[in-house]
């Protein structure tokens, strides 16, 4: 199996007023937020020509997106070969949540850690995201 987690794909957290919070981060810290939060680009260490994206997003405090976790946050980890990884995790007894989903910008799957934190696993297609931002 290839690498499992290759980096942080995003950090998502619940907020009382996500829009107000995004505005505060924009005006106070200079983060160029949009309706989803902030997608920031970086270069891959192993392939510096390749650009990649990490997402920072506040969600409404009553979002069902983090369920079944009741936690205030959810990490998104970048992975290689999500299908193979989810199969391996199931075999290892890890709780897989829902079904894998696929979009033009990548594949997504979810697991729970031993403390009930929902973890989003993302096999990205960075080039699709970058093309849509330009």
Sheet bearing 51-60, strands edge to edge = 38-43, 51-60, 5-15, 73-79, 118-124, 106-112, 95-103
The residues, any chain, with a CB within 8 Å of residue 87's CB and separated by 6 or more, are none
pLDDT digits (tens, 9 = 90+) for 31-47: 999 999 999 889 888 88
Residue 1 has pLDDT above 70, yes or no: no
What is the pTM (predicted TM-score) of this model? 0.87
Domains of the chain (ranges; CATH) run 5-133 (3.10.180.10)
Radius of gyration of the chain (CA): 15
pLDDT digits (tens, 9 = 90+) for 52-85: 899 999 999 999 999 999 999 999 999 999 999 9
């Amino acid at each position: 199996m290839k690498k499992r987690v290759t980096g942080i794909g995003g950090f998502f957290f619940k907020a009382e007023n996500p829009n107000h919070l995004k505005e505060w981060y924009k005006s106070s810290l200079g983060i160029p937020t949009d309706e989803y939060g902030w997608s920031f680009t970086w270069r891959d260490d192993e392939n510096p020509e390749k650009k990649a994206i990490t997402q920072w997003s506040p969600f409404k405090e009553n979002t069902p997106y983090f369920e079944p976790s009741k936690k205030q946050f959810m990490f998104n980890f970048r992975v290689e070969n999500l299908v193979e990884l989810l199969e391996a995790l199931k075999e290892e007894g890890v709780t897989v949540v829902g079904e894998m989903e696929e979009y033009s910008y990548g594949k997504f799957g979810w697991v729970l850690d031993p403390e009930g934190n929902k973890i989003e696993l993302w096999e990205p297609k960075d080039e699709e995201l970058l093309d849509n931002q330009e």
